[in-house]
Amino acid sequence: MKKLTYILLLAMLYMVSAPPAQADIKKLAQTGLQFLKIDVGARAAAMGGSYAMVGQDATAMFYNPAGLAHMQHNWEVFATQTQWISNINYSAGGIAKNFGNVGVFGISLVNADYGEITGTRVAATEAGFQKTGSLNVGAYAIGLSYGRNISNKFSVGGQVKLAAQHLGSSVLDSKGTEHTNKVSGMAYDFGTMFYPGFGSFRLGMFIRNFSPQFKYEKEAFQLPLTFQIGMAMDVLDVLGDHPASSLLLSVDALHPRDYTERIHVGAEYAYRNMVYLRGGYKFNYDEEGLSAGVGLKSNFGGYDVSVGYAYTSFGVFNAVNRFELNLGF
């Protein structure tokens, strides 16, 4: 087992030092409901989205439900806000309950606010069109998650969620009949997490957005199905006891349906479990890349309260800001 662990550590170093090369042909425009791919947590985003083996609290519902099995509190509640590009905002939150040996159950919600969009329609006017008022557009996903330890080294988790998107209405025939552009359906996530026994080192896999096809009118499309493997470790474990600080490193390798392979790398330095400095990088993205963030954690009257902020560079677009609040008791 130790030999296997060393091999995996070397693989992690190789993945960091040799990110995937840009492919000449990329899989593009093959999936819909793209909001399901967005990093909603500030901690996860600050670590470059490399979070599949990191999240061990309620936020794991969005990244790997197997992490729920390691939740330390009886209850956890969290809320996040993402200020995305083009005045798009994502709000997410959830609550998780620890039932001991039975496992941990959680409910999550993410809502996409696409802002105000004015609809138009072809018309015999000087401009060639007429305004139809503001379009009712948006999207959301509601999920029910479960995570459980199978043994003291291995945990599994899953999530079933209802995902929906509405893009207003449109006229598609000569009779002027309005059609509502709305889709909804079920999607499924599944993940594992394994501790080989080498300090805090863990590895596992996560499948996100497995679902049947969705369809607006005639053309069907897939959700952004993604398969990823990841590993993470507090590298200060090699020094023995280190209660004053920790340095968590993580690497995720992603195989998305609608793009070539990607690598996410993240790091988090914690001082006395109170102050957190985070950074990360996403390889093989057109615009996203470097990210950074901070976090603070304290106890108030028996409640563990933590707040976080993440900054993500976004190329030619404005930077993305994320905020997060967690409560455990």
Q: Which residue is it, tokens 């200020």?
A: 83
Q: How high is the pLDDT of residue 120?
A: 75
Q: How high is the pLDDT of residue 6?
A: 53
Q: How high is the pLDDT of residue 10?
A: 57
Domain ranges of the chain: 2-328
Higher pLDDT, 167 or 272: 272
Q: Given pLDDT bands bounded at 50, 70 and 90, which one contains residue 167?
A: confident
Nearest in space to 201 (alpha carbons), one of 63, 8, 56:
8
Q: Is the pLDDT of residue 314 over 50?
A: yes
Residues in Cβ contact with 55 at an 8 Å cutoff, skipping those fewer than 6 apart: 41, 44, 62, 63, 64, 67
Q: Given pLDDT bands bounded at 50, 70 and 90, which one contains residue 224?
A: very high
Radius of gyration (C-alpha) of the chain in whole angstroms: 21
Q: Is the pLDDT of residue 19 over 70?
A: no
Task: Report how far residue 121's alpha carbon sits from residue 42's, in angstroms, rounded to the nearest whole number.
Answer: 40
Q: Given pLDDT bands bounded at 50, 70 and 90, which one contains residue 22?
A: very low
Q: Cα-flanking dihedrals φ and ψ of residue 115, to 5°?
A: 80, -175
Lowest mean pLDDT among 17-31, 67-81, 217-231: 17-31
Q: Given pLDDT bands bounded at 50, 70 and 90, which one contains residue 23?
A: very low
| Contact present, 271 and 296 (Cβ < 8 Å) | no
CA 107 to chain centre: 15
Mean pLDDT across the chain, nearest whole number?
88
Task: Report how far residue 37's alpha carbon sits from residue 169's, in angstroms, rounded to the nearest whole number.
Answer: 25
Q: Is the pLDDT of residue 20 over 60?
A: no
Higher pLDDT, 169 or 282: 282
Q: Given pLDDT bands bounded at 50, 70 and 90, which one contains residue 116?
A: confident
The pTM (predicted TM-score) of the whole model is 0.86
CB burial readout 3-12, b (16+ within 10 A) else e? eebeebbeeb
Q: Cα-flanking dihedrals φ and ψ of residue 84, to 5°?
A: -80, 180
What one-letter code names the amino acid at 230? G
Task: Report how far residue 109's alpha carbon sits from residue 124's, in angstroms, rounded to the nearest whole number.
Answer: 43
DSSP SS3 for 297: strand
Task: Report how far residue 277's alpha carbon sits from residue 241's, in angstroms, rounded to the nearest whole number.
Answer: 20
Q: How high is the pLDDT of residue 174?
A: 59
Instruction: Give tens-digit pLDDT for 46-104.
Output: 999 999 999 999 999 999 999 999 999 999 999 999 999 888 999 999 999 999 999 99
Q: How high is the pLDDT of residue 15?
A: 53
Q: Is the pLDDT of residue 24 over 60?
A: no
Neighbour-count burial of 1, counting CB atoms closer than 10 A to its CB (0-12 exposed, 13-18 middle, 19+ buried): exposed
Which sign does the torsion angle of CA 326, 91, 44, 151 carry?
A: positive
Q: Given pLDDT bands bounded at 50, 70 and 90, which one contains residue 122?
A: confident
May I ask the CATH architecture of the domain 2-328?
A: Beta Barrel (2.40)
Task: Report how far residue 235's alpha carbon sits from residue 211's, in angstroms, rounded to the nearest whole number.
Answer: 37
Q: Over pLDDT 90: what percentage of the chain?
A: 64
CA 272 to chain centre: 27
What the block records as the tokens of 137 is 């557009």
Neighbour-count burial of 152, counting CB atoms closer than 10 A to its CB (0-12 exposed, 13-18 middle, 19+ buried): exposed
Q: Given pLDDT bands bounded at 50, 70 and 90, which one contains residue 13?
A: low
Helix, strand, coil percentages for the chain (3-state, nearest 5): 15, 55, 30
Nearest in space to 40 (alpha carbons), one of 6, 78, 71:
78
Lowest mean pLDDT among 103-107, 195-199, 228-232, 309-313: 195-199
Q: Given pLDDT bands bounded at 50, 70 and 90, which one contains residue 21?
A: very low
Q: How high is the pLDDT of residue 175?
A: 63
Q: How many CB atoms lie within 10 A of CB 214?
A: 19
Task: Report how far residue 319's alpha carbon sits from residue 284's, in angstroms, rounded to the nearest whole number.
Answer: 18
Nearest in space to 282 (alpha carbons), one of 308, 306, 256:
256
DSSP SS3 for 123: coil
Q: Over pLDDT 70: what percentage of the chain?
A: 88
Q: How high is the pLDDT of residue 320?
A: 95
